[in-house]
Amino acid sequence: GALPGWDDVESLLHGAYERSAAATDGVVADYIPILAAVDPDLFGICVAEVDGGVHAVGDAVHEFSIQSISKAFTYALVCQEIGHEVVGVRIGVNNTGLAFNSVVALELNDGHPMNPMVNAGAIATTALVPGVTPTAKWEFVQDGLSRFAGRRLTLDVTVYESEAATNLRNRGIAQLLESYGRLDVDPLDAVDVYTKQCSLRVNTRDLAIMGATLADGGVNPVTGERVVDESICRDTLSVLAATGFYERSGEWLFEIGVPGKSGVSGGIVTIAPGKAGLATFSPRLDSAGNSVRGQRATAYLSRTLGLNVFASG
């Protein structure tokens, strides 16, 4: 079934906000220098139902860079274009059990990136985006993520320049992929498109609608546009369930029971299939790079809205 009635969802959203706002543990990411400048107390929650209704509380329209949440949507778009079989062979669907920016996982697996939600797999996925030039690939990503959001998403140039100037590790990962023969394009070009992808500006409303599009079998519930096929949503959600929170993916699935994806700027998108997309933004992160308040608020909402896909009743 769908979510509870409108007023119930509104009050549960406020309840999630109030119960989670007190949490001030965790730290803001600073390995991308500009991210350290964020106000750590910002906190917003948004829920977009598959019928197009949108609920919001707190700093729900504050904009931030999408970061790793973009990986889920680029993966869906690439599967739509070239098929999940090819992507499955080249990128994989298994958890690495290691941090998102690990090079160890690559070294242990003959350079195979293992899944599209860690940096190695995401850079390799972005390299598979259609387009002969890096500009064409970037436009494909920007257009596609914008269709998921239902509005034109733009590049946060300050975030892009801050990350591009300091992303030695991602450049190293891409060159390692190339050394194993796992990239068909120039590694630094692939990292550059990936860095732009991570620097797209969104708010929790955008993320909730992007999530709701995956929850709705690929049709954006606000614009009515089909973005990807239903089967692509199913594939993407399976991958997120296994890998969306890196080495903490098991704990997330155990606690919350629906697929989701985090990003290092503090966003989380959660997808309740057939029901809704949920998004939270709060910049303080746990040691795996997942928003502390976002996890709490989402756990509360999953319980009270009855979202856990493993619950029989």
Residues interacting with ligand GLN, by CB under 6 A?
Answer: 67-68, 100-101, 119, 163, 170, 198, 263-264, 289
Identify the CA nearest to 35 among candidates 163, 153, 122. 163
Which is closer to ligand GLN, CB of 190 or CB of 276? 190
Task: Measure the CA–CA gap between 13 and 58, rounded to whole angstroms.
Answer: 10
Min separation Cβ 101 and ligand GLN, Å: 6
300 annotated as a binding-site residue: no
Q: How far is the CB of 287 from ligand GLN (least distance, A)?
A: 12
Using CB positions, name the residue nearest to ligand GLN. 68
Cβ neighbours, 10 Å, residue 130: 11
Do the beta carbons of residue 118 and residue 100 sit within 8 Å? yes
d(CA 152, CA 133): 22
Nearer to ligand GLN, 218 or 263 (CB): 263
Residue 163 or 235 with smaller CB distance to ligand GLN: 163
Which amino acid is residue 22, in one-letter code?
A: A
When the beta carbons of 189 and 216 are compared against ligand GLN, the nearer one is 189
Q: Are 268 and 279 in contact (CB under 8 A)?
A: yes
Sign of the dihedral defined by the CA atoms of residues 209, 214, 215, 218, in that order = positive
In the complex with ligand GLN, the residue whose CB is nearer, 211 or 221, is 211
CB of 269 to ligand GLN, least distance (A): 12
Secondary structure, 3-state, 7-35: HHHHHHHHHHHHHHHCCCCCECCCCCHHH
Query: Of 206, 228, 243, which Cα lies nearest the Cα of 94?
Result: 243
Q: In whole angstroms, how close is the CB of 82 to ligand GLN at the nearest point?
A: 23
Pairing of strands 276-281, 260-262: unpaired
Least distance between ligand GLN and beta carbon 19 (Å): 25
Closer residue to ligand GLN in complex, CB, 13/269: 269
Helix (H, G, I), strand (E, B) or coil at 62: coil
Q: Identify any residues that bridge with 226 across adjacent strands, giving them in sequence order.
A: 219
**Of 80 and 197, CB closest to ligand GLN:** 197
CB of 103 to ligand GLN, least distance (A): 13
DSSP-assigned beta bridge partners for residue 268: 262, 280
Exposed e or buried b per residue across 31-66, where buried means at least 16 C-beta atoms within 10 angstroms of its C-beta: ebebbeebeeebbbbbbbbbeebbbbbbbbeebbbb
Asked whether residue 68 is marked as a ligand-binding residue, the answer is yes
Q: Residue 159 Cβ, how far from ligand GLN at the closest point, in Å?
A: 9
180 is in an annotated binding site: no
Q: Which residues are annotated as a binding site?
A: 68, 119, 163, 170, 194, 246, 264
Q: Which residues are annotated as a binding site for substrate?
A: 68, 119, 163, 170, 194, 246, 264
